[in-house]
Structure 1
Amino acid sequence: MYAGPDSILSVFKNQHGGPVRNRRLVISAAVVVAASFGTVLVPAAAQAAPARPAAKGAPAGGVDAGPLAKPEAKTFHSPAERSVRKALPGTKGKARSGAEAGATAQSDATAQAEPAPSANEELAVVLNGRTTTAHGVELQAAIVSAPGTTLKVTFDWGDGTVDTADGLPGLEVKRQHRYAELGEYNVKVTVTDEANNAQVVNEVPLSTSGSDFTPHTPTRLLDTRSGGGKVAPYTSTRVKIAGNAKIPAGATAVALNVTVTNTATGGHVTAFPGGGQRPATSNLNFEAGQTVPNMVIVPVGKDGTVELYNGGWEAVDLIADVTGYFSRTASSGYTPMTPVRTVDTRSGLGAPRVGQVAGRGSFSTQLGGLYVPSNATAVALNVTATGPREAGHLTVYPSGQAAPNTSNVNFTAGQTVANSVIVPVGSDGRISIMNGAWAGVDVIVDVVGYYSPDSSGAFMAVAPHRRLDTRTWGSGPLPGQEYIWMNISHKEEGIAGYVLNTTVTNTRDSGFLSVAPDVNSPASYFDETAVWQDPPQSSSLNFTPGKTVPNLVQASSGGTNGTIDLWNQSFGDIDLIVDMFGYYETK
């Protein structure tokens, strides 16, 4: 593998005697921007890197964590007793259940006699099903029949599709099916014994595992400052989701922008299904005096709520704004994208003019038909505020509507801060951004994906789990200007993207984290055939020295390769934590 003047390739062994991994040292693009209150590193178009040596630290390497963690399959069952006996075409007689099959048939003068007990009266079918993918199910029909009979089995999937198969007594006939649209279906299986004029039907209701997204006008569901009081340390508060703000009872997950404020000490917030087991992961981290927002996608509990846990030593105020929900009703699927910059007010990209958005000012920008399809119902963004002249917030909302009483990005004077945003698109394909501060701020927007009726990526929630923590993985922090490759779903077909929460901590310099798909397979790193990866020109989160910063990342899988890169685009070491909450599947 070529190691040119812009890269250094080294092979190393981790300090615990682990496998040999490849390391690349990359001097990537960054630009130093002078803001009114200091100098910060912010993402920019590719330029020659400053003549400054990269930070030295433990080699970056990679993580191959094995098979993709998947949710537990849903199962469905209908016993033999539910089999209903029917008369074949050309015969007359009432339908009889399996329990009635042995009863003597009543006939009138014109009715043809139903099959006698010797004519396969024991015919029945047992149905056992399970979900296999977001759109897929598998159904097994176990046939009970008199010996020596030849049978025909018909699967009516409830969506206009029918499959047929030959069957034999005692045989289990198995079929798989993919539904084009998510939802609930009634599947009917018919077993026919033509030789004995016998036929039985059994039915089983089932539903797909995946969930589609329905955009929701940004709406505040929780604000402890105006009701209920602060959330006490090491306790949680419940947020009603199902049945609230016109969110249906069948919502399976929700997209919330959660903000913690009025903090007296450091800590973290964890979002999880109401009434469920709290996971050992975090969604946002905070320090004393900070106001920190973060987007979360979290399953809704059986009681229709979501819990927000305060993992700090002192009480905090929590705010939760909904921007959409997931359900098993066909709506909008997700399509991930390689991040693309669509707005940068510093250069005038996507903005009405070059320069900061004035205090209390707003503007709209075109996305539909330009960066995403014209029928996109919502977009997934990473929105960055930089160079603010005073503290404030940004609100992102559909064009053509009044700005809601919600926030997406909170900032202090001179701070560069990013946050993940999911927002509905206006009927004209535009979104609007309002500066809630009284002084100017620059705004950067990167599009990372979109939701549309034509997209088939269905959300699959998994038990939250930690995929990476460089504080404990044995190879030390991630050095500046290097990346870690992470295998999440290599060789898994139909995985379009991942829902991750990334957190940087123990930061030594200002910079930003970028997440992008990798064209290389895990094997190519080990056999040294991996090709060069250019650093992305977009940011997933921004940080300054000594800060702990989280952000939700909806990362593209890059197809069956299933590997992503996490770039430290600063000149100092960082520790990186990655938690996984779900993925999008097209199968």
Structure 2
Amino acid sequence: MAIPVSKRRFGRAAITAATAVVALVSTSAIAAASPVGGSGAVSATKQRVGSTPHAPSGAVAVGAPAGDTRLDLSVNLEPRDPSALRDFVKAVSTPGNAEYHHFLAKGQFASAFGPTQNTIAQVRSALRAQGLTPGAVSADGMSIAVSATVDQAAKAFGTGFRSYKLKDGSTGFQNTAAPQFASGIAAEITGVTGLNTLVRPKPLHTGFRSAARSARSLSSTHTSAATAAATGGPTCSELSSLGTDGSDYYSPQNLAASYNMEHTATSGAGVTVGVIEYESYSSSDLAHYQSCFGTKVPVSVVKVDGGATVAPNPANNIGIESLLDMEDLIGLVPGAKLINYQGRSLVAADGKTAINTSDAYWLDPIKQAVVDDNAQVLSLSWGGCELGADSTILNTELNMSLEAASQGQSLLVASGDDGAFSCGSYNNYEKAVGDPANQPYVTAVGGTTLSGNPATSRTTWNTGDGAASAGGVSRIWSLRSADSYQAGFTGSGYSSSYCSPSTGYTCRQVPDVAALADVRGYAVYVGGGWGTVGGTSGATPTWAALVAIADAQPACKANGPIGFLNYLLYGAAKSAYSTNFMDVTSGNNGIPGHSGFSAGTGYDLTTGLGEPNGANLVNTLCSKLPAAATGTSTYHPLSPKRLLDTRSSSSSAPQVPANTSAAVKITNANGIPASGVTAVVLNVTVTRTSGNGVLTVWGDNTNRPKTSNLNWTKGETISNLVTVKVPGDGWVDFYTTSATDVIADVQGYYTNDTTGYTFTAHTPKRLLDTRSKIGVSTTTPVSNNLVNVSITGNAGIPTTAKAVVLNVTATQTVGAGYIAAYPSGATRPSVSNINWTASNTTLPGLVIVPVGSNGKVSLYVHGKAHVIADVFGYFSADGALKLNTTTPTRLLDTRANIGISRTTALTAGQTVKLQVAGRAGIPSGVSAVLLNITVTGTTSSGVLTAWPDGISRPSTSNLNWAKGWTVPNLVLVPVGSDGYVDIYVNAPTHVIADVTGYFSGS
């Protein structure tokens, strides 16, 4: 291997989890990540996966379904390393952790944490061996679709089926045993959904009242408004038909004022919120709501499993939940976008009779919202009893919420409307919480009642007739008490007897937070008229709106979405509770005949941490991320040092999969300061390349640019210098389109102050060419030796030069090898600048290398090659130019008519006059520019030269290539007085040029 191997490995937990904290385990009677049963032995060769589902309370067995009944199944798989995934989620969600906010990029989950391709192939093979035909694999790799009949499923999974008649008169069926799989793959499977059609989640809203019911009668037992209507944001005069704002209902502007939330016509701008629904809704009702408020929020519908099958009918409670969720969000964040992930209908047209739906249809819309990763915030206002969900449902929900958290999605779930008894008669009214609000990686939202305009008092929501804020202690999930987000928060009435946790663990408590849920709460336009509706299903989109407002703030927006909230929320409560939350200290969540939990000071089991003090909490959430340094920059050269090396001595395979990112922390290490860093200079190498590929380097938590830094063909080891803008969190990302190893060596960094060196551009000039005695006395190739290049006092470079910009080329190589550049007289570093793998190779590479005390730099050749070095400028204390970083932008692409009016390759001897000033934010008067130039589609060997327009072409080179090669190289080239750079090729090729920064005197 030609690249010097460093024993130090740095990388992102997206590739290998860097932390070892397990934040969640299951209860003592449950195997890890298998909350209600797990794999049970069937025989020496097969095992049961999951648990047998429960029949709903009051269900009566009525035979079995017909054998030819079609089933839409999903075989759900485990992540490749569940513990590493949980560690990663905790790390990216915890302020102060080195991994904080290093979320997976869109589409990265499959390669980072999804099952391996080998696992997927084995499961598909096992399904075929049982007579089933596996269908598509989900984009995250976590599920395999299967269509089968009841008879086929029974035979394949070793289970029977039983039909039931439910209390509402509907019928359904479920499997009588957990499905079985070959022992060798059973541990890789979470379970099979689609076998059980008795799943009955419900919308968690309560008490819809139309305006036709007297507003005065509604307000007779409710505190009257004491102040004028709150202002700010869009308003709708038609709401007056509901009575008095703050007494008979809460308008969006009043609700925002009550929670100290930002409320303008652009609140939430740039953020997409997804609502997950299981019904259709009236688009005309939604349009009327928007018309009255004067909003134009884009709403798109993603139909999952074909979408809703029953028409909206508010009189039968069909369509109210969807409109409540969307209208609440539109009223609070009119600058956002909405996506309605619409699953199959759960009830028939009468609104009472359950449809023969399945657990797969329940989970699929949530899966779709997570796998799509198009919404930063997700709101779910449907759910059921946690004890009624079997292990397949619970574990699949767990994996989906972990995936959402790993991607930076905030998932908020309504706690429910049944007080402390979310399972009701299912468990004889023993206290229990709802699912999926019980899940450890969601934010569960409870309910309150408000009084006043804006609200001057608040209490736990409880109607007194059976509807109340759901909360309590999970009987399923537990968290490691020493480091869970709920450590130090124990609601009155908590007991470990609910979940019987293992030593060192505590049961998950619900809810996490709360907001308005009173039945006189939300003003909605439903069924052609105005009305009010309550429930924790209204509180949930209210909190989703707050998160969207936070995500839209500049401090948050620049560093990515907030993601999984709970570590931040409980941390905010620990640091400044009264600043960030409005405590709810009165009320309880009991129901008639059954005592619940009581509210109290601080965290409680009725309203969690309480309601948000919006502006303060948003500021707290966003202040955890540092802002990126800005301004013109001076340069600090460093002795080269390895920061990232993904190679593993235990594997010959590349460690960064295709379409995946690695990352490295730049600031506060290796001599680089913790703040003020604007850009870093890295020599980046790819090796063990598995196919043709492209690598892009960019600042973490910003959008990946549509540019490239390295391009290669299969089997190549290739390097390039990269100057990349450093974001506020101090991390830099490396994205590759094909599997490869990535190595990054730091060469120097820029800061937004005057403590570093400034740049002087130099007309390109050759300082070394071992082929023709330039800079040396012989024409002998350099072999496992160094050659010194005189810098100061040469070609007009002054003795004040502290670092020099050289384009170094290795040519006429013999075997594999590399070149390392470093200051003369210093110890040779164990890093490289240019790498090659074969004889007769010509490869260039830009280097920025400190000048030795003797005025020279050393170029060490490992292997054998001729060496060329051309100077393009130098850094000193008295230079005139500073760096200005830009968002990487493509200025030239001869393949795509960018920067040139052609889509054909350049011809031999052609010069392109490329405009630089006035493009990509580069001003006139710019002195030099950083361009990443790539040649591709080469049909013969050739040379490319770049120089400032207006002078003669110099006898230097920037890129050299052989036939068929794709070669990149960073170019720091002076810009002509007219704002142009000239690019010459002596052989046919396509040319691409991406700008990453420029130098100017201000």
For the aligned pair, the TM-score class normalised by the smaller chain equals 0.5 to 0.7
Is 1:577 the counterpart of 2:1001? The answer is no
1:246 paired residue number: 671
C-alpha separation between the residues in 2 aligned to 1:227 and 1:210? 42
C-alpha separation between the residues in 2 aligned to 1:307 and 1:374? 37
C-alpha separation between the residues in 2 aligned to 1:400 and 1:483? 41
* Aligned partner (choices 507, 513, 520) of residue 938 of structure 2: 507
2:865 paired residue number: 441
Cα deviation for residue 353 of structure 1 reads 3.1
C-alpha separation between the residues in 1 aligned to 2:748 and 2:785? 25
* Aligned partner (choices 747, 752, 757) of residue 328 of structure 1: 752
2:850 paired residue number: 424
C-alpha separation between the residues in 2 aligned to 1:395 and 1:311? 27
1:563 paired residue number: 980
Alignment of 1:198-209 (within 5 A): 209=631
Cα deviation code 1:228-256 (max 9, x no counterpart): 97111111111111012111112211000
Secondary structure at the counterpart of residue 814 of structure 2: coil
* Aligned partner (choices 693, 711, 718) of residue 292 of structure 1: 718
C-alpha separation between the residues in 2 aligned to 1:308 and 1:456? 32
2:956 paired residue number: 538
Cα deviation for residue 493 of structure 1 reads 4.9
Cα deviation code 1:488-546 (max 9, x no counterpart): 12795541100111111111111111001111xxxxxxxxxxxxx64431111111111
Secondary structure at the counterpart of residue 337 of structure 1: strand
1:305 paired residue number: 731
Question: Contact 2:780 / 2:866 at 8 angstroms: preserved in 1?
Answer: yes
More moved, 441-450 vs 484-493: 484-493
Secondary structure at the counterpart of residue 402 of structure 1: coil
Cα deviation for residue 208 of structure 1 reads 7.0
C-alpha separation between the residues in 2 aligned to 1:286 and 1:456? 36
Structure 1 counterpart of 2:657, one-letter code: A
1:480 paired residue number: 908
Is 1:341 the counterpart of 2:766? The answer is yes
Cα deviation for residue 226 of structure 1 reads 4.3
C-alpha separation between the residues in 2 aligned to 1:271 and 1:352? 40
* Aligned partner (choices 611, 628, 638) of residue 216 of structure 1: 638
Alignment of 1:519-530 (within 5 A): 519=950
Structure 2 counterpart of 1:362, one-letter code: L
C-alpha separation between the residues in 1 aligned to 2:996 and 2:981? 16
Cα deviation code 1:155-187 (max 9, x no counterpart): xxxxxxxxxxxxxxxxxxxxxxxxxxxxxxxxx
Alignment of 1:41-60 (within 5 A): none
Question: Contact 1:339 / 1:446 at 8 angstroms: preserved in 2?
Answer: yes
Question: Contact 2:757 / 2:878 at 8 angstroms: preserved in 1?
Answer: yes
Question: Contact 2:946 / 2:984 at 8 angstroms: preserved in 1?
Answer: yes
Question: Contact 2:822 / 2:857 at 8 angstroms: preserved in 1?
Answer: yes
For the aligned residue pairs, the C-alpha RMSD in angstroms reads 1.9
Structure 2 counterpart of 1:536, one-letter code: P
Alignment of 1:375-414 (within 5 A): 375-411=800-836, 412-414=838-840
Secondary structure at the counterpart of residue 441 of structure 1: strand
Structure 2 counterpart of 1:225, one-letter code: R
* Aligned partner (choices 700, 708, 727) of residue 274 of structure 1: 700
1:168 paired residue number: none
2:884 paired residue number: 460
1:350 paired residue number: 775
C-alpha separation between the residues in 2 aligned to 1:316 and 1:406? 18
The structure in which a higher percent of residues are strand is: 1
C-alpha separation between the residues in 1 aligned to 2:799 and 2:896? 45
C-alpha separation between the residues in 1 aligned to 2:1001 and 2:750? 15
C-alpha separation between the residues in 2 aligned to 1:361 and 1:550? 26
Cα deviation for residue 483 of structure 1 reads 0.5
Cα deviation for residue 227 of structure 1 reads 7.9
Alignment of 1:311-322 (within 5 A): 311-312=737-738, 315-322=739-746
Question: Contact 2:630 / 2:678 at 8 angstroms: preserved in 1?
Answer: no
C-alpha separation between the residues in 2 aligned to 1:351 and 1:394? 17
C-alpha separation between the residues in 1 aligned to 2:630 and 2:982? 31
2:466 paired residue number: none
Cα deviation code 1:79-135 (max 9, x no counterpart): xxxxxxxxxxxxxxxxxxxxxxxxxxxxxxxxxxxxxxxxxxxxxxxxxxxxxxxxx
C-alpha separation between the residues in 2 aligned to 1:484 and 1:348? 31
Cα deviation for residue 302 of structure 1 reads 1.3
C-alpha separation between the residues in 1 aligned to 2:678 and 2:954? 33
C-alpha separation between the residues in 2 aligned to 1:510 and 1:367? 30
* Aligned partner (choices 645, 658, 664) of residue 233 of structure 1: 658
Cα deviation code 1:250-282 (max 9, x no counterpart): 221100000000011111100000221110110
Cα deviation for residue 363 of structure 1 reads 2.1
After the TM superposition, which segments of 4 or more aligned residues of structure 1 sit over 2 Å from their partners?
Answer: 226-229, 351-354, 490-494, 533-536
1:12 paired residue number: none
C-alpha separation between the residues in 1 aligned to 2:779 and 2:753? 43
C-alpha separation between the residues in 1 aligned to 2:874 and 2:960? 23
2:965 paired residue number: 547
Question: Contact 2:765 / 2:954 at 8 angstroms: preserved in 1?
Answer: no
Is 1:469 the counterpart of 2:859? The answer is no
Cα deviation for residue 354 of structure 1 reads 2.8
C-alpha separation between the residues in 1 aligned to 2:1000 and 2:961? 31
C-alpha separation between the residues in 1 aligned to 2:740 and 2:821? 25
Question: Contact 1:300 / 1:306 at 8 angstroms: preserved in 2?
Answer: yes
Question: Contact 1:347 / 1:355 at 8 angstroms: preserved in 2?
Answer: no
Larger Rg: 2
C-alpha separation between the residues in 2 aligned to 1:306 and 1:488? 26
Cα deviation code 1:443-490 (max 9, x no counterpart): 000001111111121111111111111111142221110101012127
Structure 2 counterpart of 1:481, one-letter code: G
Cα deviation for residue 579 of structure 1 reads 0.7
Q: Percent identity?
A: 40
